């Protein structure tokens, strides 16, 4: 039997709210966003995001966001290669 890892919404909120990520729109814009809220919807995780520069919010599926450790309040380490093209 395969055991599924299921995190509660509260655990997801603790893990992701306030984190920064890259969101690519359908039009091809790459936008740096901050996660504002989390919800589960029909078995998937949706995240409400707000652009770092600009206004508004949008709910997107978690797999549409690209998270990187260097984007969350820490400066990238000089020896690291950052593959995100901002």
Domain-embedded: residue 77: no
Domain enclosing residue 21, as ranges? 9-67
- What's 43's domain CATH number? 2.30.30.140
Domain-embedded: residue 4: no
Q: For 15-55, how does the pLDDT look when each residue is reduced to its tens digit (9 = 90+)?
A: 999 999 999 999 999 999 999 999 998 889 999 999 999 99
For the chain, give the percent of residues with pLDDT over 70: 73
Domain-embedded: residue 79: no
Domain-embedded: residue 2: no
Q: Does residue 83 carry a pLDDT above 80?
A: no
Of the candidates 14, 23, 82, 13, which has an alpha carbon nearest to the alpha carbon of residue 52? 23
Question: How many C-alpha atoms does 25 have within 13 Å on its Cβ side?
Answer: 11
How many domains is the chain built from? 1
Q: Which residues contact 32 (CB under 8 A, 6 or more apart)?
A: 20, 21, 22, 23, 51, 52, 53, 71, 86
pTM here is 0.71
Domain-embedded: residue 56: yes
């Amino acid at each position: 039997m395969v055991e599924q890892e299921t995190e509660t919404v509260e655990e997801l909120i603790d893990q992701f709210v306030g984190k920064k990520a890259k969101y690519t729109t359908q039009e091809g814009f790459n936008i740096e966003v901050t996660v504002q809220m989390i919800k589960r919807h029909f078995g998937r995780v949706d995240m409400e995001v707000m652009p770092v520069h600009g206004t508004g919010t949008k709910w997107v599926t978690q797999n549409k966001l690209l998270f990187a450790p260097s984007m969350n309040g820490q400066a990238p380490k000089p020896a690291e290669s950052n593959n995100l093209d901002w």
